[in-house]
Structure 1
């Protein structure tokens, strides 16, 4: 099978997958990741309420989210260097990570000030690095033929979870202590669900041995390198779009004189981010049928075009703005799982977990400068060009994925 250019497999290989067991495994692990990752955005959902408990500046409010990403990077890099995702059973590692994240999140209830809260958010991110990468590896043991679709559903679950805080804000915030307790319990439940209810699939990866050098040697495979470079371009765009779209929409609605702009902006943002869950599923289907390279190039072409155009539409009719925004939200994340799928298919099989973890770590590092720079550009020249810089990521990603199509089949 040439996974670089097409996804054709013979009937024997396709039939080797248990049509019932694999989808049951997907349902369990996708639910486990959805629950397990809820603590990522728990503080984001209750920032207005936290502002009544502690004096919080706008910069500190942003750090309540950025700290989780930094913690995730630290945790993922440490996990990659220690080969944790290849030495510890993936579902067991998910339980460890979920337990730590749930505890760190729950400690927000006792935090005396925002500085301690930010530190706890960072620690939450560290532990979540033990949930996301091993969940992707665990799911890969269930699928060969439709692995792209399966991992697309996994990332779709994460996407829907990412959108939920905006719905909470749009419908009216809940008591912040309740949000923290519920998200902590859900994260713990996700870890328990993976370990107790879940099981390994029929296509396990060979167990690796401890070798810190493999944290970087995994990139000596050109296929893994190009797939990861494509993912880095994707991440350059994704989280900055997710982080600042609600502000853009709020400004746009206010500019056009729409009442309750903040509320409608939050609801619109939930729809724009949430529709990406469907995009992840379709991206997986296309990845399995057309190949990872073609599917990701299609997604990045459309999302990059939307990034270039959206800022120029502030005075356009609201339905037009919403249509382009939904198109962007659909395609901006549709390719996400396909980069990871490619790594599981072409990377060294005994260090797949290490490769996935390192790919995610570097990708999340690249989200930080774009989240930081978008509001600076908006303040200087307005929204017309603030989002346009994000299109650089898809351009770089397209170049990388075009290169991967030139590689020979393995």
Structure 2
């Protein structure tokens, strides 16, 4: 059976079974990518869930545990850029496959941690593997999906990161409660990751044209949107990555993403500890209450991607759609954060924090898709990787800052207020510097050479 599609001029044309199969194949690529990202955040969330056990067993201070959480980002942040740049040169398939294998190995090795210094080394090396996932995912989605579906594709794939937290939080908590040993979940997750590495290499190829399951080149079934706000530059005429990373919109997006990441990594590293110590929640209760914000974050990520795709199609201005959601979402996130620490009941704190995570993740796909909307595909991995790198330097400072503030002031309220302020700084950056998209110089070809 064939189905009809719109041709370049809008006329109805018959889609061949091969083309229809190819269109289904992109959703297979999206599915395996989503599973990889579920695992990515389940592995990352595991340390926060096991944190109270590790702190107690090894006699760590909050500042020391904050440093263990932060050192991950010293390894992670540079590899956001390195992984994206490598995906432009060698393709996303090999880069992501190697990354999954690497981070899974060090997830398992976390169980061998024997003290402060060994956790620091393991967590630092663990970050090397986790770093490339953001840029490589966007590169993969852009290779397989047309622009008007990018918000949905990124929303589904990256939306699976909070789903990983929602799954990983109770899984790790139940494994610890069931075995009495915090090491067990790290071994289980490491083995799952090595199996996932094999599945990735079997199912994924860099582009539709390279996939053995496809029998003919994909038809232009859905045309890209021509955004009047963005200068259109052919891939072969694109300036080097160094040109794009100096543009105000790219830097403003990175600053807004930094605010997003500050809240996220404070939550990821410390919210389970906050529930246990400030709210008296036991670990089994963390398995349930700690998963709720992640589930709402998953919904927010999906909704944000679909919402901006719809706005982009209706207005013909994808970049404007992404920026609007970033500004509204981060502003509301900051407002609610100010009230989380003031909540007088566990229920109130959970409702507020769940709302914060929902609104935060509503903006989650926009940073990636805003870059995808404005940067040629041949430079996309490197530019997204650079933005992701700058954003994730917040992971170096946020967990450490929270630990230091709580150690010195015993105030969780202050940590939430600091996070709100960082969010607002990101909003200001988008409003002030995010108005002008990157525009290639007239002599673009003279800049090529990277």
Please state which band the TM-score falls in when normalised by the shorter chain. Answer: 0.7 to 0.9
Q: CA deviation at 1:327?
A: 0.9
Q: 2:299 aligns with which of 271, 278, 287?
A: 278
| 1:2-401 equivalence runs, <5 A | 19-47=23-51, 56-79=60-83, 83-110=85-112, 113-143=115-145, 144-168=147-171, 170-171=173-174, 173=176, 174=179, 175-202=181-208, 216-254=242-280, 260-261=281-282, 263-265=284-286, 267-290=288-311, 291-313=321-343, 315=344, 317-378=345-406, 379-380=408-409, 382-401=411-430
Indicate conservation of the 8 Å contact 2:304/2:362, yes or no: yes
- Residues 170-214 of structure 1, C-alpha deviations (whole Å, 9 max, x = no match): 546144443222211222233333321123445999999xxxx95
Report SS of the residue matched to 1:145. helix
The number of equivalent residue pairs is: 387
In 2, distance between residues paired with 1:132 and 1:265?
A: 28
| TM-score normalised by structure 2 residue count | 0.75
Q: CA deviation at 1:93?
A: 0.6
CA gap of 1:50–1:225, structure 2 versus 1, over 3 A, is closer
Q: CA deviation at 1:299?
A: 1.2
In 1, distance between residues paired with 2:382 and 2:329?
A: 26
Q: CA deviation at 1:36?
A: 4.6
Indicate conservation of the 8 Å contact 2:170/2:288, yes or no: yes
Structure 1 or 2, whichever has the larger Rg, is: 2
| TM-score normalised by structure 1 residue count | 0.81
In 1, distance between residues paired with 2:274 and 2:26?
A: 41
Q: CA deviation at 1:272?
A: 1.5
Q: CA deviation at 1:365?
A: 0.8
In 1, distance between residues paired with 2:41 and 2:279?
A: 31
Name 2:223's counterpart in structure 1: none
Q: CA deviation at 1:306?
A: 0.9
CA gap of 1:122–1:201, structure 2 versus 1, over 3 A, is same
In 2, distance between residues paired with 1:149 and 1:310?
A: 30
Indicate conservation of the 8 Å contact 1:94/1:195, yes or no: no
- Residues 127-155 of structure 1, C-alpha deviations (whole Å, 9 max, x = no match): 22233421221122222212112112222
Q: CA deviation at 1:390?
A: 0.9
User: Which stretches in structure 1 are left out of the alignment for 5+ residues?
Assistant: 1-9, 255-259
Report SS of the residue matched to 1:332. helix
- Residues 31-90 of structure 1, C-alpha deviations (whole Å, 9 max, x = no match): 12323554334444444565687565544443443232221023335446xx31211110
CA gap of 1:50–1:374, structure 2 versus 1, over 3 A, is closer
In 1, distance between residues paired with 2:337 and 2:416?
A: 6
Name 1:7's counterpart in structure 2: none
Indicate conservation of the 8 Å contact 1:33/1:132, yes or no: no
- Residues 252-296 of structure 1, C-alpha deviations (whole Å, 9 max, x = no match): 534xxxxx5554345322211332011100111122123101111
Q: CA deviation at 1:100?
A: 2.0
CA gap of 1:398–1:111, structure 2 versus 1, over 3 A, is closer
Indicate conservation of the 8 Å contact 1:141/1:201, yes or no: yes
Report SS of the residue matched to 1:220. coil
Report SS of the residue matched to 1:305. helix
In 2, distance between residues paired with 1:53 and 1:249?
A: 19
